[in-house]
Structures are given as structure tokens and as C-alpha cells.
Structure 1
Amino acid sequence: MRSRALLFAALLCVAPAGLAAQGGEALRQAEAALVRGDAVSAKIALEHAASAGASAADLAALRGEAALMTGDMEEARKFLSPARLSGTYRVRGLRVLARLEQAEGNIPAAANALELALRAGGNKADIWTDVARLRYAAGNHAGAFDAIDYAAGLDDAGTGTLLYKAQLVRDGQGLRSSLPWFERAVELAPDDATALGEYAATLADMGRATDAVTVTRQILARDRRNPQAFFIQAVVAARAQKHGLARRLLSRAGDALENRPATLLVGGLLENRGGASRLATERLFDLFEIAPDVAAAELADALLVDGEGVELAARFEGDVAVRQASPALAWRLVRSAEQQGDVAGAATAFDTAAQWNWGGAVRRGSGAAIGRLAAASAASPGQIDTSTNYIRALVAGRQPARALEVARELGRRHPGNFDARLALGDAALASGNAAEAVEAYAAAAAIRRGPQLVRKLALAHLDNGNAMAAKAVLADYIREYPLDRDVPTFLGTLLVREGDAGGAAALLKATWPEARRDPLGLCRLAWAQLYAGDGEAALRNAQTAYRMQRSSLPAAMVLAAALEEAGGNADTVRALRAKAGDLSVDEALRPLFAL
């Protein structure tokens, strides 16, 4: 009898320990499921953990994370209060709470949760990465860079930290500068599909097609249906003019990426290049609704191929006059008018397109619009979207002094915000304060560089009397983004103006794939080649440009000069020059070299 009592007592001691072990294993299973993004399996494992006696504090953090993963905000909030998060998973729970607060738009509460996480967990890289993401989402872009720089310098910086650092470096410095950070992230986690995908995409955007495909194959070796890998391969194939292969690869990406802007753009490009312009138009219309600036030129091309010049004019004429556009879109409107046989309309469109400059399209602002935006800005002082719209309207309405006043105040309120810095640069440049514009544009470019911002920064340097700095900014961008075709054209134009025809011709030749669809680009290339001593190439390109755009005065004048240099027919040269009427050569060629 005594031995049975001792055995029962022993069982009482062992059973709780066994249950605790089971609870710990169930918690680990729940963690693994959450890492995979499998909230259902995580919830099942957590029920097992609860039955095995896991602490309420440990369960709260993971249950809250599972609920948030399924989008059940109300359920998540039941578990994710700082008071309940006191166990092993307190730091993790606080980080999830920060995500919940951010998702519901409560940025101060999210920041408070991360501050508590830092106090509980110390200066951990993953917490500081969360801080960086929160700051970026809140519009404090410069603060996000500071936070991720700090996180990446900590000893425990992992793949997530290094990957976000790489992405921000890619935005603020460029593709080439971001590569070492992507490589470090992949080295730490060679099986991480997200890190490998971002690395492959960056390689592809740099033109390193073979390396990009190699990395995508690494992804597909682990995940045979990974949509991002197939998408990147489709982009590489499309750039190599292998349109059939690109379409097949894009179809293998499946539905996961179907409605993303990049997928719609690539799909539209492929259909357009493959002769299915109607299908291309449908895809590009879908994209235009999401991202009009991205889709504009390609949609215009598809409409022109379909003979829909009227639709093109109706959709885009206002864009050239009112909002930012590209020279390519501006000249497509000229071709649209020509397609309709509208001689007067073509002349008007030509005049508008000729006014386009590299800082952006000609803008016109109405007094009524400015009044509405002024009222909205006064009602929400410091609100970034409202204020930047007001500043742009003031610049368009030729009220640069007031624009600069509003932009400076916005900059004081939001010193780390990209849009505030960009608006200040625009207002300062319009006001003739070139040095202030340089400072503002450079600060904006440190957050997110793009071709238009780089051109604006170069223009500000030129207005500030520093052509060397302008060329350096452009050359650095070209090094970082070797596939870009817009900035080399701008730099080539600048070199032509400075008399460096040889350097200009070399740069402008790199734009040839795009120039085939842009008569003005071909004219610019032909002019540089003519003065660099390559008369044969100049004549060939000038003839192509003239065939594409017979109404273009620059095309006529460049062809006349190239024919004259080649000893061509004098009557033809005179007829081409007569198109300019009383205009001098410099006046007729102004659209080519307007900065």
C-alpha cells in the first residue's frame, strides 16, 4: 500500500513537468507556423499549448499575432495589451502590438509600443528595424534612414534588418550601392526567398541578366511555383526581346501578381510589342487607373497603333498642360493630331510639346483651384498632401514667393519628409533661390532618387552656376542605374550645349532603343553625331526621325544640316529649311536643347 502511495506522489511531481514540456513544444510549433504565415496551424498549436498549461502571458502574445495575421483586429487587441504581455514573449508581443496600432493609424501608440519593446529587450536590431519601418510609414523618411543605419550596425543585425537597409539604400543611393547589402542579407539566409527575390530584381534592373536568372533559379529550386522568380525571368526575357518566352514566364507567375502595377505594365508591353495592341490597351487602361504616370506613354503607344488618336487626345491633352508629363508623351500627342489629319491641332500640340523642359511639363494653375487648395491647407495646417498640392498650384499660378513661404513652413513641420523636401525645392527653384533648391532637392534625393528629381537637382545646380556639379549628379545617377535612358539623354543634351559633341554622341547613342520611338531623341543624337564627325550615322538617324515626324521643325532642320554636310540635294535642303519660315536655326532647334 505504501509503495502505491509513493508511486502516486511521484506521478504528481512528474506530470506537471511533462505537461510543461508539451506546452513548450506546442508554443514552438505555433512560432514556426507564424513564421510561415500559417495562422490556422498556429492557432491549433496554441490550443494544445493552453491545454498543456502554457502561461497566459506567453499565449497572449502569440494569439494576438495569429489574430492580426488573419486580419481580426478586434480579437488581436484582446490579447495585445502591454499589461497582458509579461512573459517570455513580451518583446515579441509588443512588436505585434505596434503593427496593430500602425495598421489602425495610431502612430503614437505604435511608437510607444516599440519604445516599451526596446526597454524590455534592449537595443536589438529587429526592434530598431521596426522603428525604421514605422518612421517611414509615418512620413519621417530621414528618421527611418537613421534608425536602419543604427540597426544595421548592431551585432545581432539579421537578414530582415539587412534586407530593409538594402531596400532603403537602393531608394536613396541607387542600385549599385545597394548590392553589397543585398549580398550580406542573402549570405546570412541563403534560403530566404524574399531576400533572394529582392536581390535578383536589383540585378535585373542593373542589366545583369545572367546573374539575376541564376538567383531566380536558386529560388525555384526551393519553391517551384514562386511567382516573383517567374516575373523577374519574364522581365529579363522581355528586355532581351524574347517576347514569346516572356509571355510564357509571366503566365507561370500565376494570379498572385496579376493586378500589381509592374505586372500590368510588363504584360501591356509584351502584348504591344507582340502586335496585340487591343489586349495591350486593355491591360494598360487597368494600370492607368492605378498608376497613371507609369502607364501614360505605353498606353499612348497602344492607342496610336490601334488608330485611336481621338481617344489618346481626349485622355492625355490635359496632362501635358496641367501635370507632370514626359517628352515622349508630349510628342505622342503631336502624332495623334497628325493621325487624325488635324494640321492645326498638330501645330498646337507641337508648340505645347516644345515648351516641355527636363524639370517637368509646363503647368498652368487657375485662381479658383489655388483658392480651394488654400482653404484646404488652412483647414489642415501641416498636412503633407494638402500642403504640397497647394505649393504646386502656387508655383503653377506664378506665385513663387507665397509657394516658398508655405514650403518653408511645411519643411519646418516635417524636416524628414521626402515630399516636403521636394516641394521646397520646386518652390525655391521657381523663386530663383537656386542654392536653397539644390539643398532641398539633394535632401529629397537622399531618400528617394528618381530620374525627374535628379534632373531637377541638375537644373538647380546649373541655375546656381555650377555646371560641374550638375554633370557630376547626372553621371553618378547613370553609374547607379545603368539601364536608365532618360538621364543619359539629359546629360547628353547638356554636353551638346557645352560643345562636347563627342561625349554627347556616346551618351545619346545609349538611348537608341528608346530613341527609335522618340523622333526628338533621334534628332538630338543625330545633331551630336554630326558635330562629332560621324556624318553617316547622323544622316541615317536624321532621316529616320524625319520619317517619324514630318511636322517636326527640329527633325527638318537636323536633316537639312546632315544632308548639307553629306553633299545632298541642295533643293531638298532649301525645302527643309523653308519649313521653319522666319525662324533661325537656333529657334527651330530650341526643343532639342531646352533644359
Structure 2
Amino acid sequence: MTSSRKRSRSKSSGFGLRGLLVIGGALAVLCIVLIGWFTMAPGKMSKADAAEATTRADALLKADNATGARDLAAEAVRGDPDNEDAHIVLARALLALHEGVAAEGEIQRAVDAGYDPKAVPQWRAEAWALQGKTDKAPAEADKAPAKQHVYGLRIRARALTAASDFAGAQAALDEARHLAPDDAGVWTDTGRFRFTAGDLLGAAEASDRAVKLAPGSVDALILRGEVVRSQYGLVAALPWFEQALKRDPARHDALIEYAATLGDAGRTVDAVAATRRALDARPGSPQALYLQAVIAARAGNFDLARAILDKAGGAINDLPGVILLGGTLDLEKGDYEQAIEKLTDLVGMQPMNITARKLLAVALLRTDRARNAIDMLRPVVARADADSYALTLVARGFERIGDRDQASRYLDRASAPGVGVSTAFSADDSTATLAADAAQKPGDPDAIVPLIRALVTGGDKGAALAKAQDIAAKNPGAPGAQLVLGDMLMLLGRPGEAVAPYQKAADLRFDEPTMLRLIEALDRSGRREDAANALALFLSQNPTDIAALRLSAHWQLAAADYDAAIDSLEDIRTMIGDGDAALNAELAAAYTGAGETGTAVDFGEAAYGLSPANPAVADAYGWALFKGGDKEGALELLQKAVILAPKHPGLRWHLAQVYAALGRKAEAKVHAQAALADPGFPERAEAQALANG
């Protein structure tokens, strides 16, 4: 300690003149730099230069480069703070970039500098609408001067849409289109309104009209990208966002949509690059940080995801995606109470969000609230197509409360080789209550769909079908209305008729639920080739969709295309890891078919360790052992599989072949005949030969 102090004093005493000269020189350099910066900085341009910059900024704005216009207009404002035109151009650029607070300030500065206050109501209304002041914006938009009347109608419509006054918004847009039928901005706002209202057919038509009228309109291109993404898929949407970014490379909202689409399409490196560009355009962008957090979470780096999400602050905390991610991260960290709070809010916002329900159930189970977890999953496991994970969670809940019979029932369902046909959630209210609500809101799908569910639950399927047909006819541009009709027809065992409404829905919104419904209807109506084409089209646009990849791999296995199945299944394993019993079982089956029995046995063993009561798992493991030469080990597993699922012809056929290989012909015949009892069993000739042998 003493020597340290001595060294410190020694350095101090040696400062002297040399130190002063060094500091003096540094200050001189700093002064020169500051003088140069203030002399050459954009803020010090002359009034003439500022006027010229304003003209160029206005030209950039007209060319749909709002970011460039904003930057140049800001320079002009710094050069000549009294230039009202510079302030108004800057305000309009900020409005185009959805920066409402800053735009409102510039509008007022323009007026203070001499700009006509009667010429700005439509812009002030837009700034208010962007800030969520939807109560004030419509009246202000109505004050727009005659030459800006159409613009005012557009802003009125935006504000009313944000306030959920869809009738008022539609009326304003109808008038705007009547007055300016070839205005691309009007058609863009019309498309955005229809997209928000769920009329995807109308949104597609309006967005197509907008980009044809103004091929360089960034707003129109972004909207078109969003509509195409919904209609056709991720890959098809990318060129539209890329076109928008060619016009304005730093447009924040275009970069966010582009990054999100790239991320969902599996192009992670490109997605991260796009988020960084968005952060350059808008430092601290919560949307960009959220996307980075999602990418990190998908890669399993939860600590990084949490750190990035914390940087986003609370600006987007009320968005469903952010709530779901936050709840997931809390759950992974063990902060169960926080996860429960977030996920409970999300389920309240989105009652049919099955992912949120399952995550919330996990958190409830881990905090010894088993009954709450069961209640949370009741509407999910009430469906015939409930997934094994949800069923297992409910079973664990019943185990916790000591109800072994119910736990066994749900575990049996979780272990079954297949799932049932999808159905809608059951109704929460009485039919009479829901009928009264629907009568008060004629033509409103949100009111009629619960009534349809109640009619189905009450056994009146004929009335439910009539309601579904009516809602589909009255809402031809709403994919949800078409799906309701398709679901009803599937419930009535009419898959061939369900194809048409499902195809209409897919033409409007080709997402995963619609794809799965369409493919199921096509397959069950004997149109496997059409189903395969629909699946291939979906995968071409959504190459990382797990459900589509699993279905594709399943069909590849059924077609004995083992190499292709291995590729698909290994892609899935890369994305979700090794903890999925069904995936490991299918990998075992694929590698067995490809003749790689050593690898097949490894995957079969892994699957069996995860789910020993699953007959499909026992079968895959046993068949891999059989093909690898372990007949006795195979026999034990395949006997267990048949005990668990005695009506499954494939399991019976595998067991028959093992018995035959062991010389137990009588038992082999019994199981071969059991397989043949199923008219859909494909390997009939081989089984018939064994049964007759």
C-alpha cells in the first residue's frame, strides 16, 4: 500500500510544463475540429442552400424515399429554422415513417414559421392517429382543405379503423375511392383496412390495384408483401419487401417485415442483418430487438434472448408475440409466477392460442396448481386431434390430484399411433344466449361461429351446417368463414365437399392450419396426389414449417422413399432437438428402410427411452432390432406394440413377419389375417401369402 502511494506521488510531481503543453496542444486540436465541424456541418448551410435542400427533400418524398427526405429536410431545418416549407416537408417525411410525435412538433414549427394553419389539419390528424389519439383525429381530418379532402378521408378511415369503427372507416374509404378512383394511396389504405378487417380477398385486390397504380410506392409494396405472405407464403413475399427497400433502403417498417419473413423462412443470417439495418435506421427499435430475441430463442440461446428483449423496454410489451416470448423465457428461467402472469394475459387476449395454453399449463403444474392446469387445457384435449404433449400434460395434472383413472385415459390417448379429426372448440355459453347474440349482430362471424359450436355440441348438426353455409356465403373474402364451413362438412363425414371451402380459404390465407385442413380433406377424399402437391407448394414457401415437414416425412416413409424421409426428419431434428419420441421413432423407421440398421436401433432405443408406452415407438424400435438380426428382442417389443394398439394393421403385420422368421407359423397367420381385416392395409399380397402359407 505504501509503495503504491509513493509511485502515485512520483507521477504527480513529474507533470510540469510538458504536461501542460500536451493538454494545451490537445485543446487546440479540439478547437480546430469543433470549428471545422460547425463550419462544415449540415446545420450551418446558408438559407439558399437550405431552400435548395428542401426542394430536393420534397422530390425524394415524392419518389417514396421518406428516409432520405427526412434526413435532407432536417439539414434544411438546421440551416434555416425559419423556413416553413422545410419544416412541413420534414413533417410529411416523419409521417411517412410513422413518427407521429416528431411530426406533430414539426407541423407546429412550420405554422409558427409562417405556414398557413388552414393547410395542415390532415397532417396533424395523421400525427394524432399515429399517436393513438383516435378520438381527436377524425374531427381534425374533416378540417382538411378542399384540395386535401381525399387525404383527409384516408386519415379519418385510419383513425376509425384503429378505434374499431369499421363501418365508419369503410364509409370514408368508399367516398375517397369515388372521388379519386386512381389514387394509389386510397387503394393502399383500402387494402390495409380490408386486411385488418379480415377481408383478405378484398385486401389482395386493393393491394394489387395500388402497386399497379404506383409501382414505386413503398407503402403499397409493404402491404402487398404482407398480403402475399398471407396468401402464398414466406418466400413469395420477400421480393415485395425487397422492392420497397430498393426505393427506400432504410425504411424501418419495410426492414422489420423483411426481417420477420426471412427469420420465419429459416434465413437466420439474413434476418439478423435486416434487423441490424432496422436498428441503424431507428436506434433502439423495439421491433428489431424483439426479432433478434426470437432468433436467439429459436437457437436455444435463452440468456441472449432475455438480454436483447430487456433492451426493447416496454414499448411493445402488450403485443401477443412479445408476451409469448417473454412467458417462454420466464418459464425456461424458472420464474414461474411471472410466466403465469404473462401467459394468463395472453390466453385472455387469444383464447384459442393453444401454444400459450400449453405453456401456461406447464407453469401451473410446476407451481402445484394441477387443477388450474387441467382447466387451462380442457378445451384443447376435448378435441379429437389433441397433440400428445397436451394430453400428457393433462395426464400429469390428474396424477397430481390423485385421479389415476383419468390420468391413464389421457396417457392412453397420448400414446396412440395417430390422432383424430380436428374439430372446433366446444361452446362456453348456452345455445339460446349465443343465438340472441348472433341475432343482434347479423352477418358478424365473431358472433355466429360460437353459435355454430353450440349447435354442434347440442347435436343439431343440420342447423350448424346451415349457419356455416350462410356465414361462408356472406363473407367470401374471409378465410375464417370458409374454414368454418369446411370444418362442419368434415365433422359430418363429407371430406370431398369440404375441399372447396378449404381451397377458398387457402387462396386467401395459406397458413399452417389451412394447409393441414386442406390436405386432410384431399387425402380422405382419395386425392392423395393433389394433397401431396398442396403440401409441396406450402413447403416451397415455408421451408422450416415443422408440421409440414413432419407430414412430408410421414408420406415419404409411407411411399418407401427412405432417403428423402431421412433428409426431412433430420432437418426437423436440427430444429427441435432429440427430445421428441415420435421423431426418433420415425427416424428409426427411415434408417431401417434405408438399410442402416445400426443407426435405426440407436434412434429406436432413444425413442423408447422417452415414451415406452407408445405403440408406434415400440414398433419402430422392434422392427429396427428385427432388421438388425435381433429377432427375440424384436418379438418382445412388437408384442407389446400390438397389445397397446391391437387394431393397427401395420403393427400386426410386423409381428406376423417376426413370428414367421422364428418359425411360429400359426401365430404368424393369425396376425397376418388381422392385418388383412383392415381394407386399407396396403401390403395385402404379402400378407395374404403368409396367411395362406
* TM-score (norm. length: structure 2): 0.73
Is residue 178 from structure 1 mapped to residue 256 from structure 2 by the alignment?
Answer: no
1:460 maps to a residue whose letter is A
Is residue 519 from structure 1 mapped to residue 519 from structure 2 by the alignment?
Answer: no
| 2:209 alignment counterpart | 150
- Distance of 2:640 and 2:110 partners within structure 1: 88
Deviates more, 1:488-497 or 1:207-216: 488-497
| 2:285 alignment counterpart | 226
1:480 is aligned, of 541, 547, 555, to 541
2:565 is aligned, of 488, 504, 509, to 504
Is residue 80 from structure 1 mapped to residue 141 from structure 2 by the alignment?
Answer: yes
Change (3 A) 1:520 1:285: farther
| 1:210 alignment counterpart | 269
Change (3 A) 1:224 1:133: closer
- Distance of 2:626 and 2:336 partners within structure 1: 39
| 2:619 alignment counterpart | 557
Instruction: Tell me the SS of whatever aligns to 2:300.
Output: coil
Change (3 A) 1:242 1:102: closer
| 2:79 alignment counterpart | none
Question: How far 1:187 moved relative to its partner?
Answer: 0.8
Identity %: 29
Higher relative contact order (CA 8 A, sep 6+): 1
- Distance of 2:457 and 2:582 partners within structure 1: 26
1:468 maps to a residue whose letter is E
Structure with max Cα Rg: 2
The number of equivalent residue pairs is: 567
Are the aligned partners of 1:321 and 1:362 in contact in 2 as well (CA < 8 Å)? no
Question: How far 1:64 moved relative to its partner?
Answer: 3.3
Are the aligned partners of 1:312 and 1:336 in contact in 2 as well (CA < 8 Å)? yes
Deviates more, 1:345-354 or 1:475-484: 345-354
- Distance of 1:142 and 1:530 partners within structure 2: 47
2:282 maps to a residue whose letter is D
Change (3 A) 1:331 1:446: farther
Question: Structure 2 matches for 1:451-462, cutoff 5 A?
Answer: 451-462=512-523
| 2:391 alignment counterpart | 330
1:165 maps to a residue whose letter is R
1:259 maps to a residue whose letter is D
Q: Deviations over 1:277-335 (max 9, x none)?
A: 66655554444443432313334455566676555334324421159744432344345
Deviates more, 1:310-319 or 1:247-256: 310-319
Question: How far 1:94 moved relative to its partner?
Answer: 2.0
| 1:12 alignment counterpart | none
Is residue 111 from structure 1 mapped to residue 170 from structure 2 by the alignment?
Answer: yes
Change (3 A) 1:162 1:34: closer
Are the aligned partners of 1:335 and 1:549 in contact in 2 as well (CA < 8 Å)? no
- Distance of 1:195 and 1:137 partners within structure 2: 18
Deviates more, 1:148-157 or 1:370-379: 370-379
| 1:529 alignment counterpart | 591
Deviates more, 1:499-508 or 1:534-543: 499-508
Are the aligned partners of 1:395 and 1:430 in contact in 2 as well (CA < 8 Å)? no
- Distance of 2:637 and 2:128 partners within structure 1: 76
- Distance of 2:239 and 2:474 partners within structure 1: 35
Are the aligned partners of 2:85 and 2:110 in contact in 1 as well (CA < 8 Å)? no
Is residue 411 from structure 1 mapped to residue 411 from structure 2 by the alignment?
Answer: no
| 2:223 alignment counterpart | 164
Q: Deviations over 1:431-461 (max 9, x none)?
A: 3443432121121122222222211100111
- Distance of 1:67 and 1:243 partners within structure 2: 38
Instruction: Tell me the SS of whatever aligns to 2:643.
Output: coil
| 1:11 alignment counterpart | none
| 1:64 alignment counterpart | 125
1:215 maps to a residue whose letter is A
- Distance of 2:83 and 2:640 partners within structure 1: 92
Question: How far 1:119 moved relative to its partner?
Answer: 4.9
Change (3 A) 1:443 1:226: same
Is residue 468 from structure 1 mapped to residue 529 from structure 2 by the alignment?
Answer: yes
Are the aligned partners of 1:321 and 1:352 in contact in 2 as well (CA < 8 Å)? no
Instruction: Tell me the SS of whatever aligns to 2:471.
Output: helix
Change (3 A) 1:518 1:314: farther
Question: How far 1:349 moved relative to its partner?
Answer: 0.1
Question: Structure 2 matches for 1:533-552, cutoff 5 A?
Answer: 533-552=595-614
Question: How far 1:116 moved relative to its partner?
Answer: 3.8
Q: Deviations over 1:344-377 (max 9, x none)?
A: 33320034444973753686679x8445434443
Q: Give unmatched runs, 5+ long, in structure 2.
A: 1-81, 653-679, 681-693
1:577 is aligned, of 639, 651, 654, to 639
Question: How far 1:422 moved relative to its partner?
Answer: 0.9
Are the aligned partners of 1:322 and 1:365 in contact in 2 as well (CA < 8 Å)? no
Instruction: Tell me the SS of whatever aligns to 2:382.
Output: helix
* TM-score (norm. length: structure 1): 0.83
Question: Structure 2 matches for 1:300-449, cutoff 5 A?
Answer: 300-302=361-363, 311-321=372-382, 325-334=386-395, 336=397, 343-353=404-414, 354=416, 357=419, 359-360=421-422, 369-395=430-456, 399-449=460-510
Is residue 187 from structure 1 mapped to residue 249 from structure 2 by the alignment?
Answer: no
| 1:6 alignment counterpart | none
Change (3 A) 1:309 1:119: closer
Are the aligned partners of 1:293 and 1:325 in contact in 2 as well (CA < 8 Å)? no
Q: Give unmatched runs, 5+ long, in structure 1.
A: 1-20
